[in-house]
Structure 1
Amino acid sequence: MRRLVIPALTGAFVLSACSETETEVTEADIAAIEASLVNGSALAWELTQAETRVASMCMQDEGFTVHDTNRLHGSMIPNRFEGFESPYARVPAVEQAEKLGFGTWVWATDTEAAQAMREDMDYLAFTAEDQGWTSGDEDDSYAEWQAMDAEYQEAWTVAFVGAERAAYDAAMSEAFEEADTDAEIEDIDLGEEPPFGGCELQTIEIVYGEPVHSEFEDGEGYWSRPDTESPLTWIGDGDLYAELSADHATQEEDFLVCVEERGYGEWEFDEFGWLPTGSYLDQMYGGAEATEGVPPLTDEAEDADPVAYEFAMALDFAECAEDAGLREGTDEAWARMSVAQVIDRESEVYAWEKQIEEYLSNAQDYLAGQ
C-alpha cells in the first residue's frame, strides 16, 4: 500500500551508517518527525482523493460517467502511517485481545457482531496501518466499470490516457499475451512509452505542474508523476528489526516459550518481526493449507469454533507478551531507531510534507473554481 510493506532502501541505510558522526536523536526530534510523517500520510490520502475528483471531472466533460477509478489517481495508494510502533505491537495487549481477538474474525465472518466491529473505533485504530487508506466507494465504482462493455472501456481509455498512449498500451498487452516464454517476454521491445495525454495529462498538470521524464539504466525513457513517496521508504524495516530483536532477545525467547507451553506449537518472528497469526487462523476460517513459516493447526484448533479459538489464542499471546515484557519500552526504542535513520535528512522530511500540501492545495483550488 505506495501500500502495505515499507521497502528497505539500502542506499539510505548506508548513508546513515557511514556518517562520520552519528547525529543524536532527541525526544523533540522524534515528536517532530513523527508528527510530520503522520500528517503527510493523511495529506497524501487527501491528495489521492482530490486527484481522483479532478480526473473524473475532466472525463465527465468528455462524456464519461463511469470510470476505472483506480486509474484516475495513477493506481497508487499512499502508505498509511499512524505513528511509530514496534513490530511487537502487532501482538495485542490483554485489553485489546479481550475485545478484538487478533481482528481476523471481523472479516472472516459476516455475523452482526463482525459487521458492528468493522465500525468500532478501537478495532479501526488497531488495524489502521494494515488496512491502509481505503474508500468504500471505490469497490462500487469498480463493479460499475466492470459491467461496461469493451467499446465503452476502450473509448474511456483513449480519452483518459490519449490515443497514442492507449495504442501503445494495447500493443504491449497483446505482445505479453502472445509471448509463451520468459525469453519472449524479455525480447518485447515497442520502443519508449509515449508521454501522458488526454485527461491524465490535464490532471497531472493541474495537480503536479507537469509530468516527469526519467531514464532507465539502458537509456530508455519513461514518464511518471512527480515522486510523492513517503520518507518512511528510507527506513529499512528488516535492518531495524534485527537490531530490535538483538536488544530484546530474552523477551522474545520468553514470549515464544510461553506460547509453546500454552499449546500453540513452535512460533517464530519473521524478518520484519511479524508473527503469522492471520495465516494461521486462515487455516480455520478458510481451510487454507499451512505454508512455510506458518505453524500447522493444533488438534484442539482443528475441532474448535474458529472465533472462540481466536479470542482464546489472542488472550494467551497477549498474556505471554505481557509476562515476557515484550512491549515494555519497545515502541519507544523503535521510534528512536527509525528517526536515527532519517535525522540527517530531517529537512527533506518536512519538505516532503510541504510538497504534498502544495499538490493538495493545487487540486483543491481547481475543484473550488469548478
Structure 2
Amino acid sequence: MQRKIRAAGALCAALALAVAAACTDDAGGDGSGPEGAGEVFEEDRLVDMVNESNRLLYDLENAENRIIQNCLEREGFTVHDQMWFTTYEPEEQEALYEAGDWGGWLPDADEAARFGLGTWSTTAEGQADEDLDAYYEHEGIVVDSAAEGDVSAGVDRLDNSEFEALSDQEKFDWAVAFYGEATAIEEQGHLVGEEAPSTDDADAGDLDLEGDFDYVQPEPGGCQREMIDALYDDLQLIEDPEGGEYRSANWSWRPVNPVDDFAKWDEFEIRYEEQLADVRTALVECLDEHGRTGWEFDDEGMLPLSDYFYELYEGTADVHDHPDLPDDAPTDYEGKKEFEIAFAVDLAECGEATGYGDIAEQAWADSRNDYYLSIETSVYAWQEEVRTTLTTAQEVIEG
C-alpha cells in the first residue's frame, strides 16, 4: 500500500516551505508543482529514488574497484588490501526517515526508569553492572567475544589476513601501485622509513584561492588514476567547505549526488529548527520546574547531556557547555547511576508533557519529504550520469 506524505495544507502549516503547489488538494496536478514532482507527492516515489541512488552508487564503487584491481594484477600484484575492495550492499529503505532520526535522545518513561540515558554503561563500573546485558539487548548492541571490549552493531569482520602476511616493503609497493608514490608515502611511508612531507603552507597547486593551506591531498596516481582517467573527466582539487580555520583541499572526480548538497540541506535544517523553537522553550521550562535548571539546546539541536553525565562519572569534561552539577552530586557509582535515572525520568516526563518527540519527529519527516522533493529532478539527472559511467566501466572491464 502506498503511503502518502502529509496533506499539502499540513505541509504548509508545518514548515511554510516555498513549494506553492503543495498547498493545494491536487498537490501540483495542474503542472504547477515543484519541478520533477509527479501529480501526487508520494513518499513511495521518493523512497524508490533514494534506493535507486544507493544501488547505483554501490554498483559504481564495485566497478571502480574492479578496474583498479585488474590494473594491479596486470602489474603483478595479486594479493590486495581488502579494506579498499570491500563494499557492502545497501539496505533497502522503506521510508525517507525512521523514528528517532530527529535525534532520539529523549527517552520514554519506561526506558528512563530502567536504564536512565545509558551513560552508566560506558563506565568501567558499568561494564560489571548486572543491568548491562539487558541494556545491550534493549539497544541492539552486540558484543564481539572474539575481541575483548569490542562493542559493535554486529558488523562482519573483514578477512585481510593474506595481505597482512606480506612484508612491509610489499605492502608499500602495493600502495604505490594503487594510488601513486606521493599518497603511498603519506599513508604508508612509515612501513619503509619514508616520511611524508610537511603540510605546513601546503601548496594548493592550481586551486585559485587565497591564503595558505594546512593540508592538500596528493594528486591521485597509480591504478587509481588509471580508473579515474578511464571513467571521469572532471578531476579537480576542491577546498573542504567545512574546514573552518583549518584549510584543506582534496581531489574529487565522481559526479556529486545532489543528496549530498549540504548547503541546500542547511536551508531545510534552518526551517526545521524554527519549527522547534517553541517546544524547545517549553521543554527547558519544564526541566526548570523539576529543579533541573540552566539547560539550553546546543548547536546540534540537542541538550548537552553526554558532557553533563561524563562529568558526573569522570569528574571532568572536555567541553563544559552544560549546567553545573549540583553541589551534593553523588560520588559513588550506584549513587551516580541513581542520579542519572532520576534525571532521565524527569526528562521523559517533560518530553511527554510538551509533546516534544512527536513534534520533532513530524517536523523532521516534513523537512525530509520537502528536501527530497526540491532535489528530485537533479537526482534523476545524476542517476542517468552514473548509468552512463557504468556503461563505460563495463567496456573498460571487458577490455
The aligned counterpart of 2:199 is 176
Judge conservation of contact 2:237–2:252 (CA < 8 Å) in 1: no
Higher-RCO chain (CA-CA 8 Å, sequence separation at least 6): 1
Query: Quick one: which of 309, 321, 345 aligns to 1:293?
Result: 321
CA contact (8 A) 2:293 2:323 kept: yes
Larger radius of gyration: 2
Is 1:160 the equivalent of 2:178? Answer: yes
Match of 1:110 among 118, 121, 127: 127
Structure 2 length-normalised TM: 0.58
Residues 1:364 and 1:228: Cα distance change in structure 2 (over 3 Å): farther
TM-score, scaled relative to structure 1: 0.61
- Is 2:194 the partner of 1:196? no
SS of the residue 2:299 aligns to: coil
Q: From the superposition, tell whether residues 136 and 274 of structure 1 become closer, same or farther in structure 2 (CA, over 3 Å).
A: farther
Which residue of the partner structure matches residue 285 of structure 2? 257
Matching of residues 18-97 of structure 1 within 5 Å: 22-24=20-22, 29=41, 31-32=43-44, 35-36=47-48, 39=51, 43=55, 50=62, 54=66, 61=73, 62-63=76-77, 65=79, 67=81, 69=83, 83=97, 87=102, 89-97=104-112
Q: Identity of aligned pairs, percent?
A: 21
CA contact (8 A) 1:102 1:314 kept: yes
CA contact (8 A) 1:54 1:363 kept: no
Match of 1:137 among 152, 157, 171: 157
CA gap of 1:83–1:34, structure 2 versus 1, over 3 A, is farther
1:284 maps to what in 2?
Answer: 312
The answer to which structure has the higher helix fraction is: 1
Task: Note the residue ranges of structure 2 that are not aligned, 5 or more in a row.
Answer: 1-15, 28-38, 143-150, 203-210, 240-248
Q: Is the 8 A contact 2:272 2:364 kept in 1?
A: yes
How big is the shift at 1:322?
Answer: 0.7
The aligned residue for residue 373 of structure 2 is: 343
Confirm or deny that 1:151 pairs with 2:176: no
2:236 corresponds to which letter in structure 1? S
SS, match of residue 117 in structure 2: coil
CA-atom RMSD in angstroms: 5.4
CA contact (8 A) 2:178 2:222 kept: yes
* Number of the residue aligned with 1:334: 364
C-alpha deviation, 1:330, in angstroms? 3.3
**Is 1:226 the equivalent of 2:251?**
no
Residues 42-76 of structure 1 show CA distances to partners (whole Å, capped at 9, x for unaligned) of 6488569857975896699555757382x5579xx
Shift of residue 246, structure 1, vs aligned partner: 4.0
Q: Is 2:330–2:339's contact at 8 Å kept on the other side of the alignment? A: no
Q: What are the ranges of 5 or more consecutive residues in structure 1 without an aligned counterpart? A: 1-16, 125-130, 180-184
Q: Structure 1 residue 278: deviation in Å?
A: 1.9
